[in-house]
Amino acid sequence: MKYTLYQVDAFTDRLFGGNPAAVVPLESWLPADQMQQLAAENNLSETVFFVPADTTDSEQFDYSIRWFTPETEINLCGHATLASAWVLYNYLDYLKPVIRFNSLSGILTITRNNDIISMDFPAWKPILYTDYPVELSKALGNARVSTVYKHRDLLVELQDVKAVQQCEPDFTLLKALGQKVIITARGEDVDFVSRFFAPSAGVNEDPVTGSAHAQLIPYWAEKLAKNSLHAKQLSKRSGELWCTYEGERVTIAGKCVFYMKGEFELP
């Protein structure tokens, strides 16, 4: 059987920027091990699959969505959700004002304002975490680690933008520690900057990570005493996000650029 695959660069307004996602619309779920194999074959930070809600669920949500790194299924992914919405709006003739995705992290509500797509995500407020590995500083290239926070991932604030830009992690050690790590600092031309490392999930450095901002937004909203925030992720591809903190929820918004449409066949 033949399937269509779209590749979209998310959280960017330029081709080859942001975070590329492989988007696979389905009519019904493939076996989980087969979706994992496809994600490994695509070898992008995430491959996303979605299926339309059946008639009994259609009042609660429009699609169910799942995300896979090359090595594992994850519970939330921002850039691949953004890319999925972009494909629905631009290639699959989705005309409703809102897209509701059912996911492992609950219902995710998507809206569009011209070329900016906004995602309503859970707010993952990180808490102080003292039980982090003593090797964490070494794993982050001997970065100065004084205070660590955690929700899903470890969150480490560094002293400035330069420290975030120049961080050179030891990915082998970071993978051995089994930790996914966000590093962040107060921004210069934006409110805050970050990078995200997840070698334990098969992604050494994720170019732009929407799910990490579910932690970053409440963290920086409290530190900066403001709820509307502008953020950049400082990977080589880089990405830009507009964020809002709304207590138990956050809004993460960005742009997308189309790269390609292809086809694959499964027996």
Torsions phi, psi of 212, nearest 5?
-65, -30
SS3 42: helix
Q: Are strands 203-206 and 228-233 parallel, antiparallel or unpaired?
A: unpaired
Catalytic residue set = 46
Q: Where are the beta strands (DSSP E) in 33-187?
A: 46-52, 63-68, 73-74, 98-103, 106-113, 116-122, 127-128, 148-150, 154-157, 181-186
For residues 229 and 243, the answer to whether their CB atoms sit within 8 Å is yes
Distance, in Å, from the CA atom of 101 to the CA atom of 1, rounded to the nearest integer, reads: 25
Which among 67, 76, 27, 15 is positioned nearest to 44, based on CA atoms? 67
Distance, in Å, from the CA atom of 95 to the CA atom of 63, rounded to the nearest integer, reads: 14
Distance, in Å, from the CA atom of 109 to the CA atom of 111, rounded to the nearest integer, reads: 7
Q: CA–CA distance from 104 to each of 4, 66, 76, 222 (Å)?
A: 24, 8, 7, 27
Which among 171, 189, 192 is positioned nearest to 180, based on CA atoms? 171
Helix (H) or strand (E) holding 139: helix 136-139
